[in-house]
Amino acid sequence: VSYIKKLKFSNFRNLSNINVDFKNNFVCFYGKNAQGKTNILESIFLLANLKSFRSSNTIDFLKRGSEFSKVEAVLEDNISKYSVCFNLDKNGKRTFFLDNKKLKSIKNIINRLMIVSYTPDTYNLIIGEDSKRRKFLDKIIFSLDSKYLEELINYNKVLKNRNVSLKEGKNFHIWDDLLIKYALIISSKRFKIVEIIKKDLKRLYKKFFENSSIDIVYKPSLGFTKIEALSKLKKQNKKDKIYGFSSLGIHRDKIEILVNKQEAKREISTGQAKLISFILKILKIEKIREFSGKNPIFIYDDVNVFLDESRLFKLLEIIKEKDIQIIASSVDNSLFKSLFSDSVQLITVSEGSLINE
């Protein structure tokens, strides 16, 4: 069980010098638009994932006009207290520290701090490309299966070799067996996790939409058996040669969300998509906990931009029951005051500075 106890910033985006103590496991940064709320949440995400949820350009983190940028979090779990820190200089050089010791490999910091985030564009998980849903499933599988990452890497290597052979007009069939071997391993794991999630997705969805049904269906591009996979690959040979690319494989797997038996992304409303994607994030928290025994921290940017009060309350109650740390941002604080007056620590963000309430 990890909790952030303290957060420090220097020159991170519009935040100059901030030092904040979290007195509660439910913290909400509140403030008007463009004050720095999302920047704060982004910095926490960065400490855990070594990248941002919005910008891929590291140098963007540096407060304009400053020489360096620094973010540090002090964390506490059942047995220890430790700190993770990110430094960035004006040349774009990033350094990570664990307990003030410079990390040689960033692998050492990954998994120390696990974050599940919900941001305003998370609903793309429902209405966006299948790749988004594949990534979502894969991340859950990582937390229960230590071999899975390697299997995905191996698959991608074989795929790359096969594609090179296709492009160069060489014999690409020599890669078929391996491609299928890894594809089938990965498909069976993806299938299993979808079956596990399915029940919980239905259960949670019913709490919000009583008269509607939901399902999640996994459709592996190569099927489930070697015979099926071989014949599918064969049918595609001509096309693949023309395009110089393997058009089938787990990189093309479909994961469909069905609402009232219709493919969700084709017909649901934005609000529905947001709620379903939120439920998927809750399931991610549940599964990570169940499988890895670790408690992720939940980051929730822009609370209440799509739900009515009773639904939002229900949603927050569901996450709060999980007994994890929730770090949220909102442009509205009255709601928090009325719903969670005793249990939320409200911190006002104004022009890159903080005011504790």
Ligand X SMILES: Nc1ncnc2c1ncn2[C@@H]1O[C@H](COP(=O)(O)OP(=O)(O)OP(=O)(O)O)[C@@H](O)[C@H]1O
**Residues near ligand X (CB under 6 A):** 13-14, 31, 33-39, 60, 62-64, 331
The residue (of 38 and 143) whose beta carbon lies closer to ligand X is: 38
Report the distance separating Cα 64 and Cα 161, nearest Å. 43
Q: Which does 63 bind (CB under 5 to 8 A by kind): Mg ion, ligand X, none?
A: ligand X
The residue (of 33 and 310) whose beta carbon lies closer to ligand X is: 33
The residue (of 180 and 344) whose beta carbon lies closer to ligand X is: 344
The residue (of 30 and 96) whose beta carbon lies closer to Mg ion is: 30
Q: Which does 60 bind (CB under 5 to 8 A by kind): ligand X, Mg ion, none?
A: ligand X
Instruction: Give the shortest CB-107-to-Mg ion separation in angstroms.
Output: 30
The residue (of 21 and 60) whose beta carbon lies closer to ligand X is: 60
Instruction: Give the shortest CB-282-to-Mg ion separation in angstroms.
Output: 21
Q: What does R_g of the chain's alpha carbons equal in angstroms?
A: 22
Residue count (the chain):
357
Task: Please name the residues in contact with 27: beta carbons below 8 A apart, sequence gap of 6 or more.
Answer: 325, 326, 327, 328, 344, 345, 347
Q: Which does 199 bind (CB under 5 to 8 A by kind): Mg ion, ligand X, none?
A: none
Residues at the site binding Mg ion, with contacts judged by CB under 5 A: 37-38
Instruction: Give the shortest CB-351-to-ligand X separation in angstroms.
Output: 9
Question: Can you say whether the dihedral through the CA atoms of 114, 116, 121, 124 is positive or negative?
Answer: positive
Instruction: Give the shortest CB-112-to-ligand X separation in angstroms.
Output: 25
The residue (of 31 and 249) whose beta carbon lies closer to ligand X is: 31
Instruction: Give the shortest CB-7-to-ligand X separation in angstroms.
Output: 14
Q: Which does 134 bind (CB under 5 to 8 A by kind): ligand X, Mg ion, none?
A: none
Q: Which does 162 bind (CB under 5 to 8 A by kind): ligand X, Mg ion, none?
A: none
Q: Which does 36 bind (CB under 5 to 8 A by kind): ligand X, Mg ion, none?
A: ligand X
Question: Can you say whether the dihedral through the CA atoms of 95, 107, 277, 247 is positive or negative?
Answer: positive
Instruction: Give the shortest CB-94-to-ligand X separation in angstroms.
Output: 15
